[in-house]
Amino acid sequence: MLDVACGTGRHIEYLKDQFDVEGLDISRDMLDIARVRNPHVVFHQADMTDFDLGKRFDVVTCLFSAIGYAKTYELAASAIACMSRHLVVGGLLIVEPWLPPEAWHAGTVHAMLIDEPNLKIARVNTSFVKGRISYFDLHHLIGTSEGTTHVVEHHELGLFTIQEMKQMFVDAGLSVTYDPEGLTGRGLYVGEKAA
């Protein structure tokens, strides 16, 4: 199987014992971490919207809403088509989506807190939208015995309707099933490669 937008290889860490798995991500820094975490796994540095590994897989996954980083319908459709081209006939494409437009609420404030004896992390962000792109800055306030630091991560993800996501699969030659709950409550698309 191939895990697209694998990041630091956390999913692969659990999958590698059951599957002959490879990973792909655009970020060299994340792949460096993934290779340390999974030293015997093959990783590829490439953009999910346009890659060619010269081989096919039984299963291709794109999890943790990574498809949203394609941002536009055209780029997300290109990513789905690219992943489909890497499937054997009868192979499965499993995509965990980002939120659809109606589920994104601009102007809302979110916070998470980790409160351990030697580690405190507060993560706060406000949700914004411009057209069909959701965006937010995750502000992390991290406290340890060595001191407290502030880190900001900027994120932009495309908002695609369920029908649009299904159409991307169909256009890529896949029959598609949608599970509204999925792995984390954001839904899950499973496409099967037609003959």
pLDDT at 195 > cutoff 90: no
Q: How far is CA 16 from CA 20, 29, 40, 100, 124, in A?
A: 6, 21, 9, 31, 33
pLDDT tens digit string along 140-150? 999 999 999 99
pTM metric for this prediction: 0.96
Domain spanning 105-158: CATH superfamily: CAC2371-like domains (2.20.130.10)
pLDDT tens digit string along 155-181? 999 999 999 999 999 999 999 999 999
Q: Which residues pair with 175 in a beta bridge?
A: 192
The CATH-assigned architecture of domain 2-100+159-193 is: 3-Layer(aba) Sandwich (3.40)
What's residue 26's pLDDT?
A: 98
Every domain of the chain and the residues it spans = 2-100+159-193, 105-158
Residue with tokens 């495309």, as numbered in its chain = 158
Q: How far apart are CA 133 and CA 130, in angstroms?
A: 5
